[in-house]
Structure formats: C-alpha cells, structure tokens
C-alpha cells in the first residue's frame, strides 16, 4: 500500500500553506464572535487584542520558520519540529496536546457552522445537534477522500470568503457613523480595568491559531523550508489587516448593544447579507476541513515515532492518507460536539494552542541560544531573544486568562512528560538537549578554570582501575559508593600492546564498558587506553583522562599481593602520587569477595586516625560512604590508639572537636596500647569496612618487605580501604 512518506509532495506555498492558514484564521470567530469582542473591548481594546494575538503568533511563526528551514521537515507539523529539537519526551507530550487541540477545533468550527445555519434557517433550531453531526460527517468524508481534492475545494472557499469580506466592507463603509464610533471606543465598564479584556482575548485567540494549518501539512509540501515561512507570515500579515479594518468598521457601524447581543452582526452590517451567510458556511467548513486534515497527520507522526505503543496502528497510511487517524479524529470531534458549546470550547483550545506555541518558541530559543553548530536555518529574520519573548508571552497570557486552566494544561503536559521519561524512549534523531548540556558544561568548565580552587569545594573524582566490563566489579561498585552521587567516577582499563594493532579492540572495549555502566546503573564514564604495559597505561590515564576541573583527583585500585608484579604495582602508586593523585586501595578477604557485589557488608564504618595528613580524606570518604542508600544508618566511628592512659581524655576531646568542626556525626573511641596490628584487628574485626592511612614506600625500601608488613595488618580484616592523601580534602571548611 502506498505510504505518505513515499508519495511525492504536491503542494506549494499558496495552496499548501497560505490558503489553509488564511481560511482557518478568518473563520468562525471572525464571523460569529468578533462583533462581541469589539462590543466588550471597545475599538481600542479590540485593536489591542488583535495586535497582542498577532504579536504572539508572529513570534511563534518566526520560530516556526527558523526550525522548518533548519531541518528536513516531514509530517507532523509542530510536533515533528519540537520533538526533533527538545526530544521525544517534550515532543510526545506536546504532540498529544496539539493533536487534541486540532481535533477539538473541528468541533468548534462545526458548532460555528451550525449557529449560522440556525440563525439563517430558524426551523433547524430543534435539530441543531443533527445538523452539527451531519456537517462533521461531511467534513470527515471530504478529508477521507484525500488532501489533494480538499486543497482544490479550499480555493473555491477562499473565493467565497473574499466576496463576503468585500460585502461586509461595503456595508460597513455605508453604515459608518462617527458618533457610534466615539461611543464604542472604550471597553464596557469593568472594575478590572484592562484585565477585563482577558475573557474577550481568550474568546478571540483561537482565531489566530490558524498559523499551524500550513505546518500541519508539512509532509505534503514540496518545499516545507521555503513554503512554511512565506505562507505563514504572509497569511498573518493579510489576516491582521482584515481584522484591524473589520474592528474599525464594526465599531463605527453598530451600537454596542447590537455588537454584544447579536452573533450575526457581521451579516447585519454587510451590504449583501446572504454573502456573509455563504462566507460563514465557507469559512467554518474550510476551517473544520483544515483541522480535520492536520490533526490526523500529527497522530500519524506520533505513531510512526513509536512514542506511545498504543498508537502504532495509526502509523499506517492508505493511498498516501492517514485514514485510520482521520476516523479517530472524526470520533473525537463528534464527542466534543455532544459535550461543548463554542464559548466553552474556545478558551480550552486557547490553552492547548498556547502550550504548543510556547514550546515551539522554547525549541527555537534552545537551538539558537546554545549555538549548536547544526542550527543553520536559512530563514534569518529571527533571534533567540525573540523566541524567548514568545515563550514568556505564551506563559503569561495563559496565567492571565485562566490560572486554573493553565495549571491543568501544564499538569497534563507534566504528566505526559513524566510518563515518557520513565519509558526511556530511544529515538533515531538527535535533539537540542545534548547540545544544551554541552554548552552548559563548556561554560561551567571555563568558569571553574578561572576560579581558584578552594578545599571547601573538594569532591571525589575517582579513577577506578577496574579493568574491562565486569572484570573487577568490586572496584566499580566501591567507586560508585565513595562518590555517593557528589563526585565523578571513571572506570579505567589498560589494554597492553601496540595501539595501531588494537584500534578495533579499543573501540569494542569502550562500547562494552559503556554498556556495563548502563546495565549496572553506575554514574560513571569509560576510560580505556592502549599502552605498552599496565604501568604506562595507568600513567597515561592519570595524566590525560578528564578535562579541566573534571580531571581525576583520586585513584582507586585493588591491593595486590602478587610478588611478580610487586615492584610495578608500587611504582604505579608512587607515580600516581607524584602526579598529584590521592590513592585508595581496596583489600577484601575471600569471604568478603564471595558476597554479592552490591550488598553492603553489615557492621560499623571504622576510621583509624593517625593525623590530618591522610585522616581528613579518610573521614571525608567515610562520611560520603554512609550517604548511600545501601549504607545509610551504619554507625561511623573515629578511632585512635595512644600509648598512655594520660593521653586518652585529651585525644577524645580533640577528635570530638574535629568532628564538630567538620559537622560530621560519628562516635569517638580512643584505646591505649602499643601494638597497632593487634588493637586494630581486635576492635574492627566485625566492622563492615575499616579505613586506614597508607604511607608509600621509601626509595630504598624493599617492595616485598613493604607489602608483607601491610599484609600482616590486613590479614585479620574483611574489607579495608587504605588511603593516601595529597592534602586536597579538608574537613574544617
């Protein structure tokens, strides 16, 4: 079956954009409610309402023009453009709201047609619901046949509309009276002042929403990037002139009572009344047809992008037309016909369109302000400040018109966005979010680079030498715990060999490590290098991994007892320390290694204090550790051994003062003894983790002797973190 994506586009600027936009804008509100707007608001108020509405729609049209000329636009109109800029979550939520607005608009225009029919043929008053349903069915049949035939019909409707406006213009000039004009200059008396115009603005604004009628046909246009800007802006200018002139003529040709009380005042003022009746029928039908054509294409685009799984059946096209979506739109419009009236539906549609316009402006602002290199619109007559102003105006007008409806509209948007975010939708297109994040990160990095480092701002930035994906899970998980969501974690892997021979393996390992990070739910970055040996690889990682303030400041590695690599292991530690890195070495007994990796061991967190050099970082890491959900509620202890009883009380006071100054909750315990190994083993044997300071070996010290001395202390403990600090972390800041 042919698909609308493969069917050749057929429509140009005039037929595909200008005509549907103009017919939708000069529709039911103009003929049936604009007289009421002029009567309530007075001439000055009506002009202000028209100008305000046109300012908002012009700013939105400029944003629409920029985005449509920056990408290859397919079906879906505003939904397609917003989703490709702000992502599937924003696009999906706005797509649903925009679709509902367009579908309910069909009902609004059909109700307008019915009002005109009843006013012309009073005998139909008893059958108004049947008339409305019949017209809705007629619109459905026209659109179901196909867009090509419908566009041709709209040319004839446009001609009828022009004749009706000419008839009104002649009648308005003939009946014009300066005394009537003077009486109609100001708004009706209201205690709210100019805020009293807001209900009239809410009623009028749907008349301005036709700017999307052309964009909704984006998938059927020969050149959307050219036709959408020209056709939309041309239609806004032409219809603005019509509304401004019409307001002037109405204010000078009809009394305020007639304006407010007569829905058919435009017909009454016209030179030839039947022409207005035909114009109303033509305008309402064309607007209904335009919305009935546009709404299904939005639904089809949502379905094709698989944003909502339940919508997938509507992605199918028949003969190039989204006929399944057309049927659903018809049923939704029919439901709205049964439940609403014109005065009720119009403000609801205003909110939905305001939300759509606001997000469209926000999308353009985001693209332009972040200076994304891919943002290269051929339409140049816009600036990010104009898009931002459009966003703010849309939000402000929503709140001014109806805070309740504005809140409900935003709650609907927020709920849909939350639902889509939870689903973690994967899309085949890029969006501005990554560009915006890059721009924010770039600015913040440059700012951090300019500012002097202060210990108060220390955060763990850990390079965990965990090897390939899943090789040393314990180091990856402990790195995650020690960062506690406050720092940065990188998982480092060294591939030994020649980089020219191992390029493909390097790429594969990066992909595997990235997949492992995602599967384990780690907040981490992969860091893989190829080097001649492990020592050279670690040295390269320590020197080069990271950027600016986001370079690693701590190396996390496993404690090694391997005699064959003892010298290399210690050389690596010393090199990392000389390069300004703090060291954290993880030792685990066989029993501890047999436990599931993500299971935090039961017991206390013990920090053995031997002075500020390593002690401040040790306490800081212990504090971060117990911030994790897996460790929350564990007792943190600060312990020290002194050689004499006389020093116990003074040492306890010192440690308590240290903790108070650091604002860290922990208990203090001081023991008297002269055998550190025996004391630590006896006191911390059952602890979840023991944190000890580590002094690096001196140059002349034998590596095996150094390792053996530490192994004696570690042998009686399950999990130990050995910490060597460069002194960056300070507690009392």
| pLDDT higher than threshold 50 for residue 4 | no
Assign residue 620 a region (left: φ > 0; alpha: ψ between -120 and 50; beta: otherwise): alpha
Hunting for tokens 């007629």 — which residue is that? 138
Residues 185 and 82 in one domain: yes
Q: Is the pLDDT of residue 604 over 60?
A: yes
Let me know whether 80 and 24 are in one domain.
yes
The bridge status of strand 461-464 relative to strand 605-608 is: unpaired
Could you report the per-residue pLDDT of 89-120, keeping only the tens digit for each?
Answer: 777 787 888 888 888 888 888 988 888 888 88
470-519: pLDDT as tens digits: 788 899 999 999 998 888 999 999 998 888 888 899 899 999 999 999 89
Maximum alpha-carbon separation in the chain: 113
260 shares a domain with 154: yes
Compute the distance between CA of residue 106 and CA of residue 340 in angstroms, rounded to an integer: 12
Return mean pLDDT, the chain: 84
Whether 364 shows a pLDDT value over 80: the answer reads yes
Give the closest residue to 641 by CA, choosing from 691, 680, 684, 686.
680
Q: Give the tens place of pLDDT for each residue, 45-89.
A: 999 999 999 999 999 999 888 887 876 666 666 677 777 766 677
Indicate if 463 and 350 belong to the same structural domain: no
CB 733 within 8 Å of CB 454: yes
Q: Does residue 6 form part of some domain?
A: no
User: Does residue 438 lie in a domain region?
Assistant: no
Q: Which domain covers residue 465, as residue numbers?
A: 455-724
- Residue 296 pLDDT greater than 70, yes or no: yes
Confidence of residue 560 (pLDDT cuts 50, 70, 90): confident
Rounded Cα gap, residues 333 and 330, in angstroms:
5
- Residue 172 maps to a domain: yes
pLDDT tens for each residue of 6-37: 444 467 888 888 888 888 888 778 988 899 99
Q: Where is 495: in which H helix or E strand?
A: strand 488-496
| Cα 541 to Cα 257, 531, 537, 552, distances in angstroms | 82, 10, 6, 9
Token output for 295: 């709404």
pLDDT-derived band at 261 (thresholds 50, 70, 90) equals confident
CATH of the domain at 643: 3.40.50.12370
Q: Are residues 476 and 339 in the same domain?
A: no
Is the pLDDT score of 724 beyond 90? yes
Ramachandran bin of 32, using left for φ above 0, alpha for ψ from -120 to 50, beta for the remaining angles: alpha
* Nearest C-alpha neighbor of 210 from the set 22, 12, 397: 22
Secondary structure of 596-632 in HEC code, one letter for each residue: CCCCCCCCCEEEECCCHHHHHHHHHHHHHHCCCCCCC
Please indicate, yes or no, whether residues 335 and 469 belong to a single structural domain of this protein: no
Residue 223 has pLDDT above 50, yes or no: yes
Q: Clarify whether residues 463 and 428 are in a common domain.
A: no
User: Do 459 and 427 share a domain, yes or no?
Assistant: no
Sheet holding 667-672, edge to edge: 525-531, 488-496, 461-464, 554-558, 582-588, 719-724, 689-693, 605-608, 636-642, 667-672
- Quote the pLDDT of residue 75: 62
pTM, entire model: 0.64
Q: Which residues contact residue 291 at a Cβ distance below 8 angstroms, ignoring those fewer than 6 apart? A: 24, 102, 103, 105, 106, 109, 213
Examine residue 444 and state whether it is found in any structural domain, yes or no: no
CB atoms inside a 10 Å sphere around CB 141: 11
d(CA 246, CA 260): 15
Q: Are 409 and 398 in contact (CB under 8 A)?
A: yes
CA distance 420 to 85: 16
Same domain, 389 and 473: no
Same domain, 286 and 343: yes
Give me the long-range contacts of 176-180 (CB less than 8 A, separation at least 24).
Answer: 176/249, 176/252, 176/253, 177/252, 177/253, 178/252, 180/251, 180/252, 180/253, 180/254, 180/255
Count each helix (H run) and each strand (E run) in the chain, helices first. 29, 10
* pLDDT interval class at 5 (50, 70, 90): very low
447 within a domain of the structure (yes/no): no
Q: What is the DSSP string of 621-662?
A: HHHHHTTSTTTTTPPEEEEEEESSGGGHHHHHHHHHHHHHHH
Tell me the C-alpha distance between 170 and 330, whole Å: 38
Examine residue 448 and state whether it is found in any structural domain, yes or no: no
Q: In degrees, to the nearest 5, what angle opens at C-alpha 82 toward C-alphas 80 and 87?
A: 100
* 3 part of a folded domain: no
Which tokens sit at 461? 């930035």
Q: Which of 271, 262, 265 is nearest to 173 (CA)?
A: 271
3-state secondary structure of 720: strand
Phi then psi dihedrals of residue 691, to 5 deg = -110, 120
Q: How far apart are CA 431 and CA 429, in angstroms?
A: 7
CATH code of the domain containing 231: 1.20.1740.10
Same domain (yes/no): 468, 573: yes
Residue 4 placed within a domain? no
Structure tokens that stand for 576 in this block? 């990392």
Tens of pLDDT, residue by residue over 440-468, are 677 777 777 766 566 666 888 999 998 88
Domain count, the chain: 2
Helices (H), 146-272: 147-175, 178-183, 198-204, 212-215, 224-253, 256-261, 265-269
In 10 A of CB 496, how many CB atoms? 12
pLDDT bin (cut points 50, 70, 90) of residue 136 is very high
Start-to-end Cα distance in the chain:
71
Assign 3-state DSSP to the chain and report helix, strand, coil percentages, each to 5: 65, 10, 25
Integer-rounded Cα Rg, in Å, for the chain is 36
Helix (H, G, I), strand (E, B) or coil at 588: strand
Torsion of CA 350, 353, 359, 363, to 10 degrees: -140
Q: Are residues 401 and 472 in the same domain?
A: no
Q: How far apart are CA 706 and CA 214, in angstroms?
A: 78
d(C-alpha 535, C-alpha 701), whole Å: 20
Q: What are the distances in angstroms from CA 228 to CA 46, 109, 216, 222, 366? A: 28, 23, 10, 11, 20
């Amino acid at each position: 079956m042919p698909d609308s994506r493969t069917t050749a586009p057929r429509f140009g600027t005039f037929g595909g954009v200008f005509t549907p936009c103009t017919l939708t804008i000069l529709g039911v509100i103009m003929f049936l409610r604009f007289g009421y707007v002029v009567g309530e608001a007075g001439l000055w108020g009506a002009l202000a309402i028209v100008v305000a509405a046109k300012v908002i729609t012009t700013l939105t049209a400029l944003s629409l023009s920029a985005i449509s000329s920056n990408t290859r636009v397919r079906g879906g109109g505003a939904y397609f453009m917003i989703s490709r800029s702000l992502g599937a979550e924003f696009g999906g939520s706005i797509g649903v709201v925009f679709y509902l607005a367009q579908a309910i608009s069909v009902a609004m225009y059909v109700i307008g047609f019915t009002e005109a029919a009843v006013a012309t043929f009073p005998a139909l008053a008893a059958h108004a619901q049947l008339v409305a349903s019949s017209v809705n069915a007629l619109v459905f049949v026209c659109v179901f046949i196909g867009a090509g035939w419908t566009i041709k019909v709209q040319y004839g409707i446009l001609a009828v509309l022009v004749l009706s406006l000419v008839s009104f213009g002649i009648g308005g000039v003939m009946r014009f009276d300066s005394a009537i004009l003077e009486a109609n200059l100001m708004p009706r008396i209201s205690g709210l002042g100019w805020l009293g115009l807001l209900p009239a603005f809410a009623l009028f604004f749907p008349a301005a929403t036709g700017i999307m009628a052309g964009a909704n046909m984006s998938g059927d246009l020969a050149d959307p990037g050219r036709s959408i800007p020209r056709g939309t802006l041309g239609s806004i200018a032409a219809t603005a002139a019509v509304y401004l002139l019409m307001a002037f003529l109405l204010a000078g040709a009809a009394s305020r009572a007639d304006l407010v009380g007569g829905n058919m005042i435009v017909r009454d003022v016209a030179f030839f009344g039947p022409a207005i009746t035909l114009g109303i029928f033509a305008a309402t039908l064309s607007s209904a047809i335009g919305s009935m054509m546009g709404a299904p294409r939005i639904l089809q685009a949502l379905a094709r992008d698989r944003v909502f799984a339940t919508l997938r059946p509507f992605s199918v096209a028949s003969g190039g037309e989204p006929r399944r979506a057309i049927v659903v739109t018809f049923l939704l419009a029919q439901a709205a016909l049964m439940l609403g009236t014109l005065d009720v539906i119009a403000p609801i549609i205003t909110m939905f369109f305001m939300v759509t316009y606001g997000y469209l402006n926000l999308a353009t602002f985001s693209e332009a302000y972040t200076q994304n290199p891919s943002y290269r619109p051929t339409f140049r007559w816009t600036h990010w400040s104009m898009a931002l102003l459009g966003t703010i105006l849309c939000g402000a007008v929503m709140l001014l018109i109806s805070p309740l409806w504005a809140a409900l509209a935003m709650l609907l948007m927020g709920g849909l966005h939350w639902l889509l975010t939870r689903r973690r939708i994967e899309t085949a297109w890029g969006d501005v979010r990554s560009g915006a994040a890059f721009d924010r990160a770039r600015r913040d990095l440059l700012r951090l680079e300019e500012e002097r480092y202060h210990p108060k701002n220390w955060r763990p930035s850990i390079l965990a030498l965990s090897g390939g994906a899943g090789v040393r899970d314990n180091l990856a998980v402990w790195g995650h715990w020690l960062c506690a969501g406050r720092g940065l974690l990188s998982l480092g892997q060294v591939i030994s060999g020649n980089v020219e021979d191992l390029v493909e393996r390097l790429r594969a390992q990066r992909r595997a490590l990235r997949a492992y990070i995602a599967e384990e739910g780690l907040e981490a970055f992969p860091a893989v290098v190829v080097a001649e040996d492990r020592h050279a690889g670690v040295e390269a990682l320590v020197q080069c991994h990271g950027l600016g303030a986001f370079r690693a400041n701590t190396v996390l590695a496993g404690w090694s007892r391997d005699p064959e690599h003892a010298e290399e292991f210690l050389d690596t530690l010393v090199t990392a320390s000389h390069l300004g890195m703090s060291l954290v070495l993880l030792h685990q007994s066989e029993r501890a290694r047999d436990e599931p990796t993500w299971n935090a061991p039961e017991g206390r967190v013990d920090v053995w204090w031997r002075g500020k050099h390593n002690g401040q970082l040790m306490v800081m890491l212990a504090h971060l550790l117990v911030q994790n959900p897996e460790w929350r509620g564990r007792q943190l202890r600060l312990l020290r051994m002194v050689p004499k009883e006389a020093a116990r009380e003074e040492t306890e006071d010192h440690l308590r003062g240290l903790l108070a100054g650091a604002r860290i909750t922990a208990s203090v315990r001081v023991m008297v003894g002269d055998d550190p190994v025996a004391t630590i083993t006896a006191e911390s044997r059952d602890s979840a983790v023991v944190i000890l300071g580590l002094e690096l070996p001196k140059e002349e010290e034998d590596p095996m002797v150094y390792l053996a001395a530490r192994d004696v202390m570690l042998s009686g403990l399950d999990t130990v973190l050995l910490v060597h600090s460069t002194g960056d972390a300070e507690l009392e800041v």
